[in-house]
Structure 1
Amino acid sequence: MPFEARRGLAGASSWATLDILRDSGKPMKHLSLTKWGDPGRPQMLGYATPRVLWR
């Protein structure tokens, strides 16, 4: 599936937000990754799930 198709209509704003976060110089962390390498949704994770640096 093409990368743009996975993003839907929010694709442009998602890239702008990612650029702002990367430019901040602060580490970005995630709780899980999708099979495409994007941060996953935390809905079924336990409270003790560690955060991992993302890219």
Structure 2
Amino acid sequence: MTYLAITAGIVIAFAFGFVLGDRRGVKQANIILDENNKLLLEAMHDAVKAPVDGEDARPVLH
């Protein structure tokens, strides 16, 4: 019976550690994705800017 209790405790500890590690990984991934999303939105905004007077207007394809 003691062997079963120790084994169950070890399995629960590993499961708990896995869940905590997974949450940490998701947080780090979200930080990276937010950073990349900001860069993407800035690049898209720069590409869509209207031409200033005197500049040649480029056609926009949809």
Judge same fold: TM > 0.5, yes or no: no
More strand by share: 1
TM-score, structure 2 length as denominator?
0.27
Instruction: Choose between structure 1 and 2 for higher RCO, CA contacts under 8 A separated by at least 6 residues.
Output: 1
More helix by share: 2
TM-score, structure 1 length as denominator?
0.31
Structure number with larger C-alpha Rg: 2
